[in-house]
Amino acid sequence: MYNTEKIDVMPPIDKKDTRHDNLRLAAKYASQGPRYTSYPTAPQFSEDFPLDQYTAWQTGAGDHRRAPLSLYVHLPFCKDICYYCACNKTVTRKPGAARHYLDHLLTEIELQSVLVGNNRPITQMHWGGGTPTYLDNAEITELMHGLASHFALLDKGYREYSIEIDPRTVDHATVALLKGVGFNRVSLGIQDFDPLVQKSINRVQPYREVANLVDCIRNHNFRSLSFDLIYGLPHQDTQTTAETLDKVISLAPDRIACYNYAHLPDRFPSQRAIDRLDLPTPEEKLLLHEIIAETLQEAGYLHIGMDHFVLPTDELAIAQQEGRLQRNFQGYSLRMAEDLLGLGASAISQMGDFYLQNERDLQQYYDQLDKQVLPIEKGFKSGREDRLRKHVIMSLISELALDINDCNERFGIDFNASFDRELRILQAMEKDGLLAIGGDSIQVMEKGRPFLRNICMPFDAYLTTASTPPPGAYSATV
């Protein structure tokens, strides 16, 4: 027998070249930068922002009283710590912790529904954490009932109601419940399937169990299943990554989001449990990133940007082609609501020209609500310049293109004159084939998709005035 497979193992020459070229670019453009889930980004929010103007706008007349609204619900508790995690969370198994939080969250829901109104159709909702499934089934039901009593939740098929699931915390009954209370999308925190990697990050979830859960999720007809993966974790190498990707592809999630692990043990104490020497080197990490992008695209996934890969049949892929994709604190989603209301400790809202962030400290969050006061800690009011730059950045990051004529018309500017400095920076990237600058549009090329942050950063006025971001303020761009 001829072993023809052996020949195929060698990557074709052009693929090798592509990889080499991509790695060269990755090394060149590697730096730290924001993920642009907002513009300006959260570090610009401050305690002295005009809260009174915000409430006046909320209660004033206008279309925003009826416009669709997206909800984000933050549930900060985890039963165990995952060493890599940099989220706002509290690790506890204390009985009653969830109950205490839920009571306050329900108060916030009541207060917010008075301010924001209960007529706005909730087209999108996302529960994130921490671990939303830290709540037991009765608490999940109670929270959804609380939301349904104070906001206009929808039972339409087009709604996007999603929840993050820690595969270790849910059984089949909970999956059925989540579907029954209205969720139609789930995302699973996979991170990596390698047992040693899982052990080293204190998140052991065997492939078999995950596969079983995925089966159950499929049986319950959720509209979309999304996986989160992390690269740059301890003990990851090309071998483990290839194996993880194999398993991921076999489970065929509709969406895959890859995140870059940033090792910042000074800022995130739990990361001290990770031995620096077990981490892949920066060069290895670039290679892992390249292998992920390569493998997923070979398996038929499209890279929509910011290391988010989706099946071509997924709504996000279709929305991107049709210019209906948006980016906010929930990542990429269909553009169904301009405003986002964040509920829970540390949650961020995006409302009209305002950004608001809730108290991140749990006790502060509780104290404010005990006084029947909205637990807003910080905010930002966007001016005209901010709105313009936000439009440019969000267009590039979501639609992978900017229509310059449309931008001129919208904002009454001469784009090419106003952004002369920025365009000159982009021209250097154009030489590397990342994008194409024309008289009336900027197009991000296939090759430029891994470098969206780099492409957007020149338009970020707060980065250039402060010259460089403080170390560790943002994760690495690639």
Partner 1 sequence: MNIDYTERLKPATDDFMTIHLADQGEGPSLRHCTHDYQVSCGNCRLASICLPLALEQDDIQQLDNIIQRSKPLQKNQHLYREGDEFQSVFAVRSGTLKAYKTTDDGREQVTGFYFPGEILGMDGISSNTHASSAKSLETAAVCEIPFTSLEKLSALMPSLQRHFFQLMSREITEDQQLITLLSKNSADERVASLMLSISTRNARRKLSATQFRLPMSRVDIGNYLGLTVETVSRVFSRMQKMDVLKVDNKEIEILDLEDLRGMANLGS
Any contact of residue 372 with partner 1 (CB under 8 A)?
no
**Alpha-carbon span 371 to 16, nearest angstrom:** 62
C-beta closer to partner 1: residue 176 or 425? 176
Please give the structure tokens belonging to residue 125: 């909702």
Which position among 18, 31, 88, 137 is part of the footprint of partner 1 (CB under 8 A)?
137
The 159-178 site mask, x for binding partner 1 (CB under 8 A), equals ------------xxxx-xx-
**Long-range contact pairs involving 7-15 (C-beta distance under 8 Å, separation at least 24):** 15/294
Any contact of residue 150 with partner 1 (CB under 8 A)?
no
C-beta closer to partner 1: residue 109 or 356? 109
Q: Taking a C-beta distance cutoff of 8 angstroms, is the pair 106, 150 a contact?
A: no
Q: Which stretch binds partner 1 (CB under 8 A): 69-77, 143-151, 308-316, 392-400?
A: 143-151
Q: Which stretch binds partner 1 (CB under 8 A): 155-163, 238-246, 257-265, 464-472?
A: 155-163
Any contact of residue 111 with partner 1 (CB under 8 A)?
no
C-beta closer to partner 1: residue 86 or 148? 148
C-beta closer to partner 1: residue 141 or 260? 141
Tell me how far, at minimum, the Cβ of 161 lies from partner 1, in Å.
8
Q: Taking a C-beta distance cutoff of 8 angstroms, is the pair 410, 435 a contact?
A: no
Tell me how far, at minimum, the Cβ of 136 lies from partner 1, in Å.
8
Q: Within 428-457, which residues bind partner 1 (CB under 8 A)?
A: none
130 upstream amide cis, omega within 30 of 0: yes
**Distances, alpha carbon 130 to alpha carbons 87, 119, 163, 353, 426, in Å:** 7, 29, 11, 28, 38
C-beta closer to partner 1: residue 153 or 336? 153
Q: Within 219-238, which residues bind partner 1 (CB under 8 A)?
A: 219-221
Q: Taking a C-beta distance cutoff of 8 angstroms, is the pair 120, 154 a contact?
A: no
Q: Within 179-218, which residues bind partner 1 (CB under 8 A)?
A: 179-182, 184, 212, 215-216
C-beta closer to partner 1: residue 215 or 266? 215
Please give the structure tokens belonging to residue 307: 């290391």
Q: Which stretch binds partner 1 (CB under 8 A): 148-156, 302-310, 322-330, 426-434?
A: 148-156
C-beta closer to partner 1: residue 171 or 278? 171
The distance from CA 57 to its chain's CA centroid, rounded to whole angstroms, is 28
Tell me how far, at minimum, the Cβ of 190 lies from partner 1, in Å.
20
With b meaning 16 or more CB within 10 Å and e meaning fewer, what string describes 146-159? bbeebbebbeeeeb
Instruction: Give the count of residues interacting with partner 1 (CB under 8 A).
Output: 30
Which position among 18, 31, 90, 141 is part of the footprint of partner 1 (CB under 8 A)?
141
Residue 413's CB is within 10 A of a number of other CB atoms, namely 15
Q: Taking a C-beta distance cutoff of 8 angstroms, is the pair 85, 202 a contact?
A: no
Tell me how far, at minimum, the Cβ of 173 lies from partner 1, in Å.
5
Bridge partners for 379 per DSSP: 46, 356
Please give the structure tokens belonging to residue 10: 């060698």
Residue found under tokens 């820690």: 166
C-beta closer to partner 1: residue 223 or 360? 223
Tell me how far, at minimum, the Cβ of 207 lies from partner 1, in Å.
16
Any contact of residue 138 with partner 1 (CB under 8 A)?
yes
- Its sign, for the CA torsion 43, 47, 51, 53, is negative
Any contact of residue 110 with partner 1 (CB under 8 A)?
no
Q: Taking a C-beta distance cutoff of 8 angstroms, is the pair 379, 46 a contact?
A: yes
Tell me how far, at minimum, the Cβ of 179 lies from partner 1, in Å.
5
Residue 24's SS3 state is helix
Which position among 75, 98, 116, 153 is part of the footprint of partner 1 (CB under 8 A)?
153
Any contact of residue 140 with partner 1 (CB under 8 A)?
yes
Tell me how far, at minimum, the Cβ of 414 lies from partner 1, in Å.
48
C-beta closer to partner 1: residue 140 or 274? 140
Q: Which stretch binds partner 1 (CB under 8 A): 131-139, 225-233, 282-290, 291-299?
A: 131-139
Residue 302's SS3 state is strand
Please give the structure tokens belonging to residue 99: 């109950």
Q: Return the DSSP state at 32.
A: B
Please give the structure tokens belonging to residue 151: 């906001």
C-beta closer to partner 1: residue 254 or 386? 254
Residue 128's SS3 state is strand
Any contact of residue 370 with partner 1 (CB under 8 A)?
no
C-beta closer to partner 1: residue 216 or 413? 216
**Residue 41 backbone phi and psi in degrees, to 5:** -80, 165
Query: Which strand ranges, in their side-by-side order, compose the sheet holding 441-444?
Result: 401-403, 441-444, 435-437
Any contact of residue 148 with partner 1 (CB under 8 A)?
yes
Q: In one letter, which amino acid is 115?
A: L
Q: Taking a C-beta distance cutoff of 8 angstroms, is the pair 188, 231 a contact?
A: no
Interface residue list for partner 1 (CB under 8 A): 137-142, 145, 148-149, 153, 155-157, 171-174, 176-177, 179-182, 184, 212, 215-216, 219-221
